[in-house]
Amino acid sequence: MMLTSSRKKHVLTAITVAITSFSGVCLSEPAVVGVSQQAQNKQSLPRPAKGMSKTQVSQQFGQPNSTEAALGQPPISVWIYPEYSVYFEYNHVIHTVLQNQK
């Protein structure tokens, strides 16, 4: 996936904000959970698979709680469900991310 200059700036800004906002939490918490260990209680949860169309996702999983408009080129949009977020490139799923445990 090629990122445009503006998309690269957006991604770098998001990474910087994430690192900055989590740095205090990581320093004060006795145990840090690695990315592969997050949302362990949700790993078996049925969720949209890579390649599914938006129509297939809405038919099988219902309408999302909210959406984020497409950004960049290729356009990447996000549908947000209670347990996960679904990332689309154009009209097809490229990734589903589980919400972390609360």
Angstrom distance (rounded) from CA 50 to CA 96 = 8
Q: pTM (2 decimals)?
A: 0.62
Angstrom distance (rounded) from CA 85 to CA 9 = 22
CATH 3.30.1450 is right for the domain spanning 42-102: yes
pLDDT tens for the chain, residues 1 to 102: 565 666 666 666 666 655 655 555 545 555 555 555 666 666 778 899 999 999 999 999 999 999 999 999 999 999 999 999 999 999 999 999 888 765
User: Is residue 4 within 8 Å of 72, Cβ to Cβ?
Assistant: yes
Q: Which amino acid, one-letter code, is at 14?
A: A
